[in-house]
Structure 1
Amino acid sequence: MLSFEEKLAIAGSFPELQRKDVSLGRVNYHYEDSAYEKKTVVYHLHPNGNGFVYAGHLDDCPFDIDDKGFVNIREFAADDFRALIAESIRSLTDEFAANEPSREERWTNEKKQTLELKFEEEDEMWYIYSGLNLDAVFDTYEEAKEYLVDEGFSRT
């Protein structure tokens, strides 16, 4: 396990990250150029060795991601910690965001009925609206897309 100082040195070696000291001796590192509202890459790095790295936009992350999109890095080796930080930063860039599904899409069916699929950053959920009425809510884009296709809708 890396020491707190070793983890600080690795996170601090990324010039695009800004260190933010928080309560109880913990440290966060933010990526201010994030294409998303989410800016925290390293979260609550603690002197006891615990801490987290944001991986909420990584589909192929080899580590367990919690409900908030973070990976616990307590037992990480240096190479894994460094690689995860780099991937986290990449996942928050404009280039990565351009390859993700649109945050708002219009879907229609053969009857010319229209539904709006919208991603809400604050709760990271996909909402389907029929006009002003909420039709359905999904955890992932894939689930929402599958529902729409099953209901006979296609993206326009």
Structure 2
Amino acid sequence: MLTFEEKLNIIEEFPELEKKEISLGRVNFHYEESLYEKKIVVYRLHPNGNGFIFAGEIEGYPTDEKGMVNIKELGADEIRTLLREAIDSLSLSPAEKNPVMEEWLNDNDQSLVLMREEDGFNVYAEEQLEGTFNSYEEAVNFLEQEGFSRL
């Protein structure tokens, strides 16, 4: 297990994180450039070596209900990788994380394009916006009701 100082040195390799001292010798590290309300990337790093890294926007990590991964037993490379992924996950919009661009056709060979943009889904006929939807499911429902099917 890495010591508190070793973990601190690893975390401080990421200049985009800002150190915030809290109680009992613990520290948090904030990512102020986050595109989300979530700003704390490293949570309650304790002098005993325990602490957490936010992975709530990353797939493949076992997280608690707050989206945190306990780093007490992680090695240096694992911490670096997790930190990079955490920062990246807070730097990308939903459209950048999970892009959608699909072409849909109807029986008359008319085509529409479904795209994820910002926090919603838009349907275009060439350059003209045909509809804006809050979810992928809503957009698909609209397209299917209009007689379109995915290519």
Shorter-chain TM-score category?
Answer: 0.5 to 0.7
For the aligned residue pairs, the C-alpha RMSD in angstroms reads: 2.9
Shift in Å, 1:99: 2.8
CA deviation profile, 1:31-88 (whole Å, cap 9, x unmatched): 11111111111110001111000011112x2x31111111000100110011100110
Q: TM-score, normalised by structure 1?
A: 0.64
Matched, 1:71 2:69: yes
With over 3 angstroms needed to count, the CA separation of the structure-2 counterparts of 1:45 and 1:67, relative to structure 1, is same
Shift in Å, 1:7: 0.5
Matched, 1:98 2:96: yes
With over 3 angstroms needed to count, the CA separation of the structure-2 counterparts of 1:42 and 1:106, relative to structure 1, is same
Q: Larger radius of gyration, structure 1 or 2?
A: 2
State the distance in 2 between where 1:97 and 1:8 align. Answer: 33
Matched, 1:4 2:20: no
**Are the counterparts in 1 of residues 28 and 42 from structure 2 also a CA contact under 8 Å?**
yes
User: What corresponds to 2:141 in structure 1?
Assistant: 153
Runs of 4+ in 1 over 2 A off after TM superposition: 94-107, 152-155
Shift in Å, 1:97: 5.7
State the distance in 1 between where 2:64 and 2:16 align. Answer: 25
Q: Percent identity?
A: 49
State the distance in 2 between where 1:48 and 1:72 align. Answer: 13
Shift in Å, 1:11: 0.5
User: What corresponds to 1:37 in structure 2?
Assistant: 37
Shift in Å, 1:23: 1.2
Shift in Å, 1:24: 1.4
Structure 2 spans left out of the alignment, 5+ residues: 99-115, 124-132, 144-151
User: What corresponds to 1:49 in structure 2?
Assistant: 49
With over 3 angstroms needed to count, the CA separation of the structure-2 counterparts of 1:72 and 1:65, relative to structure 1, is same
State the distance in 2 between where 1:86 and 1:97 align. Answer: 19
Give SS of 2:6's match: helix
State the distance in 2 between where 1:36 and 1:97 align. Answer: 13
State the distance in 2 between where 1:44 and 1:56 align. Answer: 16
